[in-house]
Structure 1
């Protein structure tokens, strides 16, 4: 018997719940919930368009410092189209780059992957607290990655 384990939610550490909510709604993400349970617990959940996974933030959800989540990946079919969409919404997004991702940014090269390889082109942006997002262009999935 195979048990399915679906990753559906990640919690983001934020300093100002209403500011974060407004930011992610500006991205065009669907507001799924805003539950003010009591003074010490509030849960806000949003989902990016086309995603099965969501983010949550609020009050009383995590002890992680605001802005400490990094390299949260959003997979897109067309990196430039996604960049243009974010820019049109007033979001500061980096230019496209390719190369290895990670803490060592010296391997990054300007522009999308010159060979157009799937999984090789990126852009990045942050939310108001500094939580870091990566856009990654995937045009052809690796086997068994549906």
Structure 2
């Protein structure tokens, strides 16, 4: 049976501030639905993505800002970073991992600059939303077999 990741819940403090931030990234607003004072769902989708994020009121018991390692796949890490910076987002410098495989939690093992061989899956940049939820841009130019 096929299963597709459709939605990721992102815990936020201020729904309108988060909505403005993600719309400022150029993400499509799919829904903003409230059912009284205690329940509101906002859904946005990054350009080209089949998966959306949702946040709101009465939606999650997770601590605002506790999401980390949310990946956005791009084909050109430097262009994607520049676009976000141009939209006013504070994005860290492009990096690759010292081990050459996948980045580690936090900043351990980060080496400045893109992967020296520009291998697919090997270059990253990170940013956070206003609550501190952590996002990672990952450059993928060629998918592994079966992907």
TM range (shorter): over 0.9
What TM-score results when the alignment is normalised by the length of structure 2? 0.95
Contiguous gaps of at least 5 residues in structure 2: none
SS of equivalent to 1:94: coil
Q: Which runs of 4+ in 1 moved over 3 A?
A: none
SS of equivalent to 1:14: coil
Structure 2 equivalent of residue 125 of structure 1: 127
Asked if 1:107 is matched to 2:76, the reply is no
Structure 2 equivalent of residue 36 of structure 1: 34
| Deviation at residue 102 of structure 1 after TM alignment | 2.2
CA RMSD of aligned residues (A): 0.8
Contiguous gaps of at least 5 residues in structure 1: none
> Aligned equivalents of 1:96 and 1:111: distance in 2?
5
| Deviation at residue 104 of structure 1 after TM alignment | 5.3
| Deviation at residue 103 of structure 1 after TM alignment | 2.0
Structure 2 equivalent of residue 74 of structure 1: 72
SS of equivalent to 2:117: coil
| Deviation at residue 119 of structure 1 after TM alignment | 0.4
> Aligned equivalents of 2:108 and 2:73: distance in 1?
23
